[in-house]
Amino acid sequence: MIGLSTGLKPQASARQGVDFPAGFDWDQARFGFVVHRMGKTYGTDIQPRNLVDAGIWSGAAIHVDGATGDDSNSGLGTQDGNFINAKRTIHAAFVAGNATAAPYRVLVKPGTYEESAFTRNGNEEPDQPVAVIGWQGPVRYRTGPFQPVWSDADGTYSSGVSSVKRAFRTDMLTAEGHFTELSKVVDVATCATTQNSWTQDGGTVHVNVGGAPGAEDIALLRSFHGARFMSHDQDFYLENIHTEGGITGALHFDAVATRNIVGVNCSFRYSAPSNPSSPLDAARVRRTNGLVAFLDAMQATGPKMAGPFTRTARRGCMCFCRTAPGGRTGWMGRRHATRSPHMTRCVRLY
């Protein structure tokens, strides 16, 4: 991996080209770009949308509005950003887009989307080159409710939410800006005497945060597949998408594929595996031969606190990261960008 940074603001000086170090094994024939320096800060002129199949931008635009949409609608508008016939879920947009048998894009109205709204618990995937874009604002997806209904349970507060795997306080952030995880305890009685804890009692979850939780103060991550793509093997573009939770990760690409994956202004956080004793990375790109680029994106925080590229990335995979905040996770805080011996061709700019 090549890392270029000083943490200082740009100085008033002319932009200069920067040569890659001798022996740095980046495939400029496939993924050529120029690194430039302005004073003490580095950057590139990469245009992210040019990194994926051009047919995405001329194909169908399927619109999604989680508040007022209807999955029986066509999803089509008179122009990009016209949500009059929007679908309600992202997975319904995948079904409609796949029916065109051509590259397409999914334009999602900003807001919150929860539980099965993304891939219908891993059952619906795109089968074409695709973009999923938060239209002019952030889209937040969580594998659990954004506003659980809490009731006083004599020492704890309870909510009728089943199959919870992890619980967090969203009103109390870590030094890196992540939610603070609650400790899971064995039973309701222990939860009642242990502040900042939680437990599952049948189909009811109990928390103890020292008082009544606010409407959105607790994030409950359920046993759902989120942004999980096991068979999709085409170019994939994400923009303004922020995912939380997922049995196999908050973002997971698994198919053997020669393709590009690009994320712009995204975050992928808090995996919630079925077996909490077997932690997983929150963002996982496996078995991909091509470019994996995250630009202005926060990387993942998961039980392993590891980066997004796992052991089986293919030898032809090139990864690029630009200006990605996120504290101690992902490319930002590990000695290595990946846990794969093949993943030595990594550029990090910040």
| In contact, 270 and 221? CB cutoff 8 Å | yes
Last residue of a domain, one of 221, 237, 253: 221
Instruction: Tell me what pLDDT residue 348 has.
Output: 61
**99 located within any domain:** yes
pLDDT (tens digit, 9 = 90+) per residue, 162-176?
999 999 999 999 998
Residue 95 resides in a domain: yes
CA distance 339 to 268: 18
**Residue 13 falls within a domain, yes or no?**
no
**What's the average model confidence in pLDDT over 127-149?**
98
Say whether both 231 and 217 belong to one domain.
Answer: no
Do residues 60 and 118 share a domain? yes
Domain boundary among 221, 252, 279: 221
Per-residue model confidence (pLDDT) at position 51:
92
Pairing of strands 157-159, 204-208: antiparallel
> How much of the chain exceeds pLDDT 90, in percent?
62
Give the H/E segment covering residue 190.
helix 188-192
Could you tell me what percentage of the chain is helix, strand and coil, using 3-state DSSP and rounding each to the nearest 5? Answer: 10, 35, 55
80 and 189 both lie in a single domain: no
Per-residue pLDDT at 33: 77
DSSP bridge pairs for 239: 133, 264
The confidence score (pLDDT) of residue 346 equals 62
Q: What is the pLDDT of residue 193?
A: 98
Domain boundary, last residue among 190, 221, 252: 221
**What pLDDT score was predicted for residue 316?**
61
Number of domains in the chain: 2
pTM, two decimal places: 0.86
- According to DSSP, residue 338 is labeled B
Q: What is the extent of the structural domain holding 309?
A: 48-143+227-349
Indicate whether 322 belongs to any domain.
yes
pLDDT digits 0-9 by tens, 199-235: 999 999 999 999 999 999 999 999 999 899 999 999 9
Does residue 164 lie within any of the structural domains?
yes
Q: Is residue 32 part of a domain?
A: no
The pLDDT tens digits of the residues spanning 236-269 come to: 999 999 999 999 999 999 999 999 999 999 999 9
How confident is the model over 311-329, as a mean pLDDT? Answer: 56
Regarding whether 280 and 162 lie in a shared domain, the answer is no
Residue 129 pLDDT > 70, yes or no? yes
Q: Look at residue 302 in the predicted model and tell me its pLDDT.
A: 52
Answer yes or no: are the C-beta atoms of 217 and 209 closer than 8 Å: yes
In a domain, 30, yes or no: no
